[in-house]
């Protein structure tokens, strides 16, 4: 069974769903606009630079989930999908996913963005398997904490290895598509690494390794 693995933000999507969710919270008046936007932008720049403290970021990003009832969060998320996510969906990305599906490959998204934000995105893209950072939930309420290892940088490899072990599968012949140098630990592990609209660091590395470099931007 061949895996076709996709990063989500700035790969299958033309933007970053995590940053967009935080922007949505600001625009809807759910969080304090000025301080939240500044922190959101600062953390995003840290991510771009490869300097993100993932646990510090998650403490910021998951806090709003703990302040509201899940039913209300679900209503906001549905609005977010229509307002922010659907405009980021790309026809070329859909065609690439369909190509792997037609080959009988097992499709997966692996993303550092949390499951609350990304689960409906994976469903909309028709991708069954999702490895995402898991927000902690106790007695039906989000706590603002993280359950397990965040799927970020080396954490993606750890989480994927755990999934493969449970499924009794391997990475033989696997594909992985990503835009970010933060995903180099996993890109180096697969048979077919592909840089998608890569950031400068990944672009330089991919060229040096003679990896495929593609664009999915419509």
DSSP β-ladder status, 129-138 and 141-147: antiparallel
C-alpha 11 chain-centroid distance = 9
Q: The tokens of 184 are what?
A: 């180099």
pLDDT tier at 33, thresholds 50, 70, 90: confident
How far, in Å, are 11, 35, 154, 162 from residue 191 at the CA level? 19, 43, 17, 18
Alpha helices in the chain (DSSP H): 17-27, 33-49, 54-66, 70-80, 91-102, 115-125, 154-167, 184-187, 200-209
Domains of the chain: 3-14+89-214 (3.40.50.1000), 17-87 (1.20.1440.100)
Question: 7 an active-site residue?
Answer: yes
DSSP string, 136-160: EEETTEEEEEEES---STHHHHHHH
More confident residue, 31 or 218: 31
pTM of this prediction exceeds 0.75? yes
Place of tokens 């910021």: 60
The CA-based angle 103-105-110, given to 5 degrees, is 140
- Is the model's pLDDT at 149 over the cut of 90? yes
- Is the model's pLDDT at 40 over the cut of 90? no
What tens digit of pLDDT does each residue of 151-209 get? 999 999 999 999 999 999 999 999 999 999 999 999 999 999 999 999 999 999 999 99
Residue of 9, 16, 18, 197 with catalytic role: 9
Question: 41 an active-site residue?
Answer: no
3-class DSSP state of 172: coil
What tens digit of pLDDT does each residue of 62-99 get? 999 999 999 999 999 999 999 999 999 999 999 999 99
């Amino acid at each position: 069974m061949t895996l076709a693995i996709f990063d989500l933000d700035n790969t299958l999507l033309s933007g970053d769903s995590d940053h967009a969710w935080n922007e949505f919270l600001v625009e809807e008046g759910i969080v304090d606009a000025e301080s939240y936007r500044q922190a959101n932008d600062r953390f995003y720049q840290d991510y771009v630079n490869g300097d993100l403290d993932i646990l510090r970021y998650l403490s910021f990003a998951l806090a709003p989930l703990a302040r509201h009832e899940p039913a209300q969060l679900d209503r906001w998320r549905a609005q977010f999908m229509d307002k922010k996510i659907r405009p980021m969906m790309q026809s070329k990305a859909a065609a690439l996913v369909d190509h792997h599906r037609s080959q009988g490959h097992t499709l997966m998204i692996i993303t550092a963005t949390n499951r609350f934000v990304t689960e409906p995105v994976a469903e909309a893209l028709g991708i069954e398997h999702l490895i995402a950072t898991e927000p902690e939930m106790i007695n039906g309420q989000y706590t603002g904490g993280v359950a397990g290892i965040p799927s970020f940088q080396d954490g993606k490899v750890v989480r994927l290895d755990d999934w493969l072990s449970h499924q009794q599968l391997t990475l033989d012949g696997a594909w992985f598509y990503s835009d970010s140098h933060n995903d180099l630990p996993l890109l180096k592990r697969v048979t077919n690494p592909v840089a998608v609209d890569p950031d400068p660091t990944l672009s330089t590395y991919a060229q040096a390794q003679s990896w495929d470099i593609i664009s999915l931007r419509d």
